[in-house]
Chain A
């Protein structure tokens, strides 16, 4: 008799245990991680070259940019970088915690980091444009050739302007940052070099061309068909207004697609 009672008890218990087990498994599934990648993009300006606001045709062989301390966030309410508001973070993933240099001229989409991350919607990003290390004295190294009215110049320009960016959601053709368990998603940091050189395809009155430095101030420094300059050289040889424009343009390079970022220079 006792055996019967025991058997029936076990059978009765097995039903809730089965369902509890199933629930437990589902909870585990949602906590499984996915793969989150960070892409750096210099856009067609860098990959294909462009005409600056002052008519210089600029083509790059190398655009080395050093980035550091990149963290992706899930925020609710969604963080808006253009409002002076505090980010409300529900989850975060560190994508990069050491200075890393990428060559934006190599491709439109350069892989900077790939990590395991908790699922969710990563709709904010913080990152730094930084120096490569104590021995390096630049954040951006531009190399290539420029041409205007048959005048040709080779250039190698080292720029130093560390900036801390805090950005909201990527803005582009598609949305980015939706990561589901065992799946992949990517985020992007985007460099807008038209902010530095302007855009010859736009009107001289366009705001981008009114605020950008252009290439002519660099061309003026050429000797024997070549420019080799760093920030110290530029500070000494540019006018105060040109140098101010340079610093402001460098600060405004960082975006997330078309989305703007809050900036903090010389952090």
Chain B
């Protein structure tokens, strides 16, 4: 409600090694998966960390409903791993005692898929639509004529 200082949020994208271990009767098996995490650093404009501040994260596919709620640590830091299947801008809101800020973090590891999605949203121009319509009409008329031909 009442606020004075600016809130600064800095980001570090961290490579994280995620380990999982399976123990077998005579030996062990260790798997790992490398992924990327985002570290938030929230401070007031004088550099004081926003310790235990409220964190709300919004995924790109639903920017109105929180994807995660959490708190910063004593140094004003919080780390999260975005869902790999959701590309786009991940919005992070940090609030404490009437001070707040929100930032948008573009996350995209699958550029090829993103390109494909953009292509599927492509809108044809009027000339392209006309050509497609004429071609379609000709195709249907031709089909109708084919089935209506006299038997020899």
B102 and A259 within 8 A (CB): yes
B143 touches which one: A1, A12, A44, A192 (CB < 8 A)?
A12
Q: How far is the CA of A199 from the CA of B2 in the complex (A)?
A: 9
Q: How far is the CA of A108 from the CA of B23 in the complex (A)?
A: 61
| Interface size, A (range) | 35 or more
Q: A171-B93, A171-B95, A175-B64 are in contact. Are A211 and B4 (CB under 8 A)?
A: yes
| Chain A minimum-CB-distance residue to B143 | A12
Q: How far is the CA of A192 from the CA of B93 in the complex (A)?
A: 20
Q: How far is the CA of A175 from the CA of B64 in the complex (A)?
A: 6
Which of the candidate stretches B29-37, B111-119, B133-141 sits at the interface with the other chain? B133-141
The interface residues of chain B, by DSSP majority, are classed as mixed
B84 to chain A, nearest CB (A): 22
- Tell me the number of A-to-B contacts counted with CB atoms below 8 Å: 81
Chain A residues 1-36 with CB under 8 Å of chain B are 1, 4-5, 8-9, 12-13, 16, 20
Residues of B near A259 (CB, < 8 A) are: 100-102
| Chain A minimum-CB-distance residue to B98 | A258
Residues of B near A162 (CB, < 8 A) are: none
Proximity string of chain A (224-267) to chain B, C-beta cutoff 8 Å, 1 when within and 0 when not = 00000000000000000000000000000001011110000000
| Chain A minimum-CB-distance residue to B1 | A43
A186 to chain B, nearest CB (A): 13
B2 and A8 within 8 A (CB): no
Q: How far is the CA of A83 from the CA of B101 in the complex (A)?
A: 12
Proximity string of chain B (2-16) to chain A, C-beta cutoff 8 Å, 1 when within and 0 when not = 111110100000000
Proximity string of chain A (193-228) to chain B, C-beta cutoff 8 Å, 1 when within and 0 when not = 011000100100011100100000000000000000
| Chain A minimum-CB-distance residue to B101 | A171
A80 and B103 within 8 A (CB): yes
Q: How far is the CA of A255 from the CA of B100 in the complex (A)?
A: 11
A188 at interface, CB cutoff 8 A: no
B41 to chain A, nearest CB (A): 15
B139 to chain A, nearest CB (A): 9
B148 and A1 within 8 A (CB): yes
A134 at interface, CB cutoff 8 A: no
B148 and A5 within 8 A (CB): yes
Residues of B near A60 (CB, < 8 A) are: none
Residues of B near A202 (CB, < 8 A) are: 2
A97 at interface, CB cutoff 8 A: no
A169 and B102 within 8 A (CB): yes
B147 at interface, CB cutoff 8 A: yes
Q: A9-B144, A12-B143, A12-B144 are in contact. Are A171 and B2 (CB under 8 A)?
A: no
B107 to chain A, nearest CB (A): 13
B64 and A12 within 8 A (CB): no
| Chain A minimum-CB-distance residue to B2 | A194
A37 to chain B, nearest CB (A): 17
| Chain B minimum-CB-distance residue to A209 | B4
Q: A44-B1, A194-B2 are in contact. Are A78 and B89 (CB under 8 A)?
A: yes
In the A-B complex, the 6 residue pairs with the closest CB atoms: A258-B100, A12-B140, A208-B4, A8-B144, A171-B100, A78-B104
Q: Identify 29 residue pairs between A and B in the complex whose beta-carbon atoms are under 8 Å apart, listed by A's number.
A: A1-B148, A5-B145, A9-B144, A12-B140, A12-B141, A13-B140, A20-B133, A45-B2, A78-B89, A78-B91, A78-B103, A78-B104, A80-B103, A82-B101, A168-B102, A169-B102, A171-B93, A171-B101, A171-B102, A175-B58, A175-B64, A175-B93, A178-B64, A192-B2, A207-B4, A207-B5, A211-B4, A257-B100, A259-B101
